[in-house]
Every structure is written in structure tokens, then in C-alpha cells.
């Protein structure tokens, strides 16, 4: 694939200054170097609670249809998850439940990463997310894995640049995203 790839980035947090949202913003610098255009999804707060009564397409919320269209139009998806109680936050699982009743993520290349303020760096949350994505038929990138512990001290701020370690890991991750999309390119 010589042309640039398009990714939709989803952060699994509604928090105003979400570190995982910031992680996707930091990733944008690395993806740009790989000719990946990474759009960060802004609509998580507009996704209603899932209710199977709304499964018929004509009953699905406009925000959900819009999200599925964004995913279908992207070459790949990247999800940055926080960790809540050793799993994915409910808001992210809720979004995935909506997507799971559409074919949007089926055979879609997906890359996952995440960060916590603690020491474990989303190991359980990513394992749980990977499991859900397998159930949805997504092609989930195996490596490189990016678990960011103590994320607060690693992200860039107005006073300090991104930590060299995180920058190097995000560069490798973006390179992996490009290769992963190329591997699963549809004719
Ligand atoms: C309800 C709740 C549960 C949490 N559980 C975990 C956990 O199990 N493991 C962990 O490493 N951090 C846990 N944390 C800390 C979060 O990883 C941390 O708040 C992180 O910054 C959230 O991501 P965000 O900044 O993108 O919103 C928890 C935080 C909350 C609010």
C-alpha cells in the first residue's frame, strides 16, 4: 500500500483530560511519520446505553450509525483503553456492544494500547479487550504491545516533552499499525 492509511482512534474514557485520549494524540506524531492519517473519535459521550430492543437498523441511534460508518471508511482502528477493575471501562464495552451487532469491525485491522497511572499499564484491560475483539472478528495486532504504566509522567506537557521511552514505543507501534493494515489490505 503506497498511499497513506486511514485509522480511526478511539479512547475508552469520558474523562476530560483522559490520559488515554492524550496517548492517541501523542500517537498521531508517530503515525504521521508512517503516512497514517489518524482521526481521533470525539463522540464517545454521544453513544447511548446499549439496548437490544434497538437492534433493528432503523432503530439504531444516529451516533452509532455514524460511528460504524467511520469505522467502515477507515483502513484500521486503534483503541486506547484505560483499566477499570482489571478490565475495560464500561463506556468502551458499551460502544463495542453496539458495534458488535454490525459488521463494522469484522475483519477490520485493529491495534490496541493503553495506559494507567499505576504500575501495570492496562495488562488485564488489554487482554479483556483483545478477547472481545476476537469475538467480533477483528484482526487484532499482536505486536508490538504498548502497556504504559505511570502514564502521567510519560506523556508530554507544556513543560516537558514526551518520555523518550514512550516516544520510541509509539514509533514502533505506528510502524506495526502500517504493516498490519498492509497485511490485511482488501483488494
Ligand atoms: C473505577 C476505576 C477503576 C480503576 N481500576 C484500575 C485497575 O484495575 N488497574 C489500574 O491499573 N488502574 C485502575 N484505575 C486507574 C486508571 O487506570 C486511571 O484513572 C487512568 O488514568 C484512567 O484513564 P484515563 O486517564 O484515560 O481516564 C482505575 C480508575 C478508576 C476510576
pLDDT of amino acid 58: 95
Cα(20) to ligand 1 centroid in Å equals 10
**110-140: per-residue pLDDT in tens?**
999 999 999 999 999 999 999 999 999 999 9
Q: What pLDDT was estimated at residue 117?
A: 97
Q: Please, what are the domains in the chain?
A: 5-183 (3.40.50.360)
Which ligand 1 atom is nearest residue 116's CA?
17
Share of the chain above pLDDT 90, in %: 96
Euclidean distance between CA atoms 127 and 122, whole angstroms: 8
Q: Ligand 1 centroid vs 138 CA: distance in angstroms?
A: 25
Over the stretch 37-65, which tens digit does the pLDDT of each residue have?
Answer: 999 999 999 999 999 999 999 999 999 99
Distance 116 CA to ligand 1 centre (A): 6
Q: Which atom of ligand 1 is nearest to the CA of 119?
A: 11
Contact 23, 113 (CB under 8 A): yes
* 86 Cα: distance to centroid of ligand 1 (angstroms): 9
Mean pLDDT of the chain: 96
Closest ligand 1 atom, CA of 82?
Answer: 23
| Pocket-forming residues, ligand 1, beta carbon under 6 Å | 13, 15, 18-20, 82-86, 116-118, 120
Q: Is the pLDDT of residue 2 over 60?
A: no
Residue-wise DSSP of 84-141: BTTB--HHHHHHHHHHHTSSTTTT-EEEEEEE-SSSSTTHHHHHHHHHHHHHTT-EE-
Amino acid at each position: 500500500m503506497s498511499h497513506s492509511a486511514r485509522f480511526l482512534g478511539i479512547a475508552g474514557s469520558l474523562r476530560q483530560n483522559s490520559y488515554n485520549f492524550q496517548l492517541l494524540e501523542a500517537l498521531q506524531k508517530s503515525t504521521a511519520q508512517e503516512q497514517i492519517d489518524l482521526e481521533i473519535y470525539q463522540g464517545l459521550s454521544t453513544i447511548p446505553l446499549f439496548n437490544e430492543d434497538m437492534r433493528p437498523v432503523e432503530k439504531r441511534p444516529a451516533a452509532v450509525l455514524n460511528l460504524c460508518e467511520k469505522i467502515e471508511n477507515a483502513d484500521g482502528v486503534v483503541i486506547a483503553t484505560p483499566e477499570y477493575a482489571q478490565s475495560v471501562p464500561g463506556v468502551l464495552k458499551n460502544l463495542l456492544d453496539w458495534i458488535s451487532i454490525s459488521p463494522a469491525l469484522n475483519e477490520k485491522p485493529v491495534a490496541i494500547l493503553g495506559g494507567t497511572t499505576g504500575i501495570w499499564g492496562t495488562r488485564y484491560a488489554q487482554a479483556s479487550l483483545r478477547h472481545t475483539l476476537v469475538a467480533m472478528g477483528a484482526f487484532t495486532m499482536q505486536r508490538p504491545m504498548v502497556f504504559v504504566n505511570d502514564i502521567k509522567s510519560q506523556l508530554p506537557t507544556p513543560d516537558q516533552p514526551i518520555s523518550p521511552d514512550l516516544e520510541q514505543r509509539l514509533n514502533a507501534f505506528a510502524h506495526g499499525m502500517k504493516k498490519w493494515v498492509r497485511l490485511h489490505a482488501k483488494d
